Amino acid sequence: MIDGSMQGYALTLDKFLSHAAKWHPLAEVVSAAPDGTVERISYAAIHDRARAVSGALHRLGVGKGDHVATLAWNSQGHFESWYGIIGMGAVCHTLNPRLTAKSLGAMLAQSGARLLLASRDLLPLARATAAEGGAIEQILLLDDDGATIEAADDSINVGVLATAMAEASSPDIEWGQFNENTPSGLCFTSGTTGAPKGVTYTHRGCYLHTMRQLQADVMGVRANDAVLAVVPMFHANAWGLPFAVPAVGGKLVLPGSNSTGAHLAALIRSEGVTLGVGVPTVWLGLVEHLETEGGDVPSLERILVGGASMPPALMERIEQRLGVEVQTSWGMTELSPLGTAAVAGDSGRLAALSGRPAIGIDLLLTDSEGHPLDEQRGPEGHLRVRGPSVVKRYFGDDKPATDAEGWFDTGDLARIDVDGNLMITGRAKDLIKSGGEWINPAEIESLVGALPQVSLAAVIGRSDPKWGERPILLVETCDNSISDEELLAPLHENVASWWIPDAIIRLDGMPLAATGKINKIQLRADYGHV
């Protein structure tokens, strides 16, 4: 007997753009240029340009497995470079332009990238980064505005990617001719709670992540959607949007370096955006702009938030002012990055709930020693995950990042309700030990953050000679109408008396990390000592 068989079909990421070019050739990628103008290009055309990027890289000596770094905003040039790099089997190492040159140089030293593709306005940072170390030999600018490239006192050759594309003898570099487990990307964690670690993405992992993301109960992107990707392309695969949107032939809208409320409102109106994706603080900026200047964004139907907890008052404020539905989610750089997502249209949606995991990712609650809790629904535990899109080993580390059963410890504390919805209750590293007892800042932040007058709230431990640490509350309010007593009132009814913060510090602007999360490292440095 001879069994039948199925065709070999490697799960490589180039197939998403090739599919869009063939079956949705006229659908667009729209990007905002640095001068405020909007550029648009069809999937058919951007597919050809991405192939030309591969040709240029090949001519410059880039081969399969080589790392090519990018230091760029959400733009057409960055998008086509992604596919040009990963399509040929090289690894796209995204760098965060909101970090220092020293930090970026340390990352480049690890990846060994010899070529850096950069947005033109980031050239000074690119040069400074290359000077910090690593093996960068050449910088190619993604934006060709015709301006002269100023000389600098370094040995780095600076050119324009478009010129290199034109000089390539042939753009016909075969895409996808490699194993699906080939690395596709490298992204370092945000470092908000510790030193950044490199996470290597694979074609197979990201392909399966995209299939999970496209499910109706997850992100559910459709061909007639116009998706505004405010989440940066240099952070955690841009939450998978550069793969998911072309996979269905939707319009992808890239805002460039500008994420102000005014800029986003204009893009939403001009491009008929139906789905916006980004951290909560981005949408707060949009709401504040509309509240000040007036106007609406009638095409917008839904906003997917992640990367930071969503205060209930902010969620209600966004939904009422924009007339949209907020869909909460949870993920990590190490998860490629989506872990769970709330179901759109669910009448039982709560800001604190991050939804259920879709097929392809599993959750486990353990005690502090890593032993599974007997009851997985209800109790708080340490959250572990596993699946084909979850990190197995960090870049450059010879030790696994998982336990013997393949579970990755997220560092989060969480509960899972009776319906399987995940609720992140805190970070294990954020716990405050006061007088030998633990205080969970996330519970305090959730209660204070539910007040309508509060925009953002954070709790950190401040050194104390008697108790070791004591909690203090830092808040950014909508106005100054709320008193200290009113800020603490919800705590008196819901937490132990010794959890009540010893001090309240009001901030004009909460410090945010490069990914939009509250920067607790900065808060501890500024306010964690008497």
Condensed to tens digits (0 to 9), the pLDDT of residues 162-193 reads 999 998 766 678 999 999 999 999 999 865 44
| pTM score | 0.87
Residue 239: CB atoms within 10 A of its CB come to 27
Cβ neighbours for 79, distance < 8 A, ≥ 6 positions apart: 29, 31, 46, 233, 242, 252, 254
Beta-ladder partners of 71: 118
Burial of 424: CB neighbours in 10 Å, binned 0-12, 13-18, 19+: buried
Enter the tokens of residue 114.
């010899």
The CATH class of the 431-527 domain is alpha beta
Residues with Cβ within 8 Å of 193's Cβ and at least 6 positions away in sequence, in order, are 411, 427, 429, 430, 520, 521
Q: Which two tokens stand for residue 121?
A: 């306005």
Give the mean pLDDT of 498-522.
Answer: 87
**Helix/strand/coil for 44:** helix
49-53, 98-102, 194-198, 273-277 — which is least confidently predicted?
A: 194-198
How far, CA to CA in Å, does 143 sit from each of 101, 118, 146? 21, 8, 9
The single residue listed with the structure tokens 């030293």 is 109
Specify the pLDDT at position 436. 67
Q: Is the sign of the CA dihedral 244, 247, 249, 253 positive or negative?
A: positive
Q: For a pLDDT cut of 90, what percent of the chain falls above it?
A: 75
Task: Provide the strand spans (E) within 203-311.
Answer: 226-229, 251-254, 275-278, 302-305
Which strands form 138-141's sheet, in the order they lie side by side? Answer: 157-160, 138-141, 115-118, 67-71, 91-94, 183-188, 198-202
Measure Cα distances from 133 to 63, 94, 101, 200 in Å: 22, 17, 10, 21
493: left (phi over 0), alpha (psi -120 to 50) or beta: alpha
Per-residue pLDDT tens digits for 25-46: 999 999 998 677 899 999 999 9
- Both tokens assigned to 192: 């908000």
Positions annotated as catalytic residues are 189, 334, 433, 438
Whose CA is closest to 384, among 353, 417, 359, 416? 416
Question: What pLDDT band is residue 493 in, cutting at 50, 70 and 90?
Answer: confident
Backbone angles phi and psi of 457, in degrees to 5: -140, 145
- pLDDT tens digits, one per residue of 360-374: 999 999 998 999 999
Task: Let me know how many helices (H) and strands (E) the chain has, helices first.
Answer: 14, 25
pLDDT value at 530 more than 80: no
Supply φ then ψ for residue 378, to 5 degrees.
Answer: 115, -60
In one letter, which amino acid is 375? E
Task: Find all residues with CB under 8 Å of 181, minimum gap 6, and list them.
Answer: 202, 203, 204
- Three-class DSSP category at 56: helix
* Residues 115 and 252: beta-carbon distance below 8 Å: no
pLDDT given at position 270: 96
Residue-range domain boundaries for the chain:
431-527
Task: Give the residues across from 38 on adjacent strands.
Answer: 32
Cis peptide before 379 (omega within 30 of 0): no
Q: What is the pLDDT of residue 498?
A: 84
**pLDDT tens, residue by residue, 209-242:** 999 999 999 999 999 999 999 999 998 999 999 9
List the one residue out of 523, 522, 520, 516 whose CA is nearest residue 234: 516
User: CA 226, CA 299: separation in Å to the nearest integer?
Assistant: 9
> In whole angstroms, what separates CA 391 from the centre of its chain?
16
Cβ 454 vs Cβ 311: under 8 Å: yes
Q: Which of 2-11, 73-82, 265-274, 505-514 has the lowest mean pLDDT?
A: 505-514
**Nearest-CA neighbor of 91 among 209, 196, 237, 195?**
237
Task: Give the pair of three-digit tokens for residue 155.
Answer: 């040995």
Whether residue 194 has pLDDT greater than 70: no
Q: CB pairs under 8 A, 24+ apart, for 461-465?
A: 461/432, 461/433, 461/434, 461/524, 461/528, 462/502, 462/503, 462/527, 462/528, 462/529, 462/530, 463/528, 463/529, 463/530, 464/434, 464/502, 464/530
Asked if the model's pLDDT at residue 78 lies above 60, the reply is yes
How far is Cα 311 from Cα 307, in angstroms, rounded to an integer? 13
C-beta atoms surrounding 295 within 10 Å: 13
User: What average pLDDT does the structure give for the chain?
Assistant: 92
Q: How many residues does the chain have?
A: 530
CA atoms within 13 A on the CB side of 416: 18
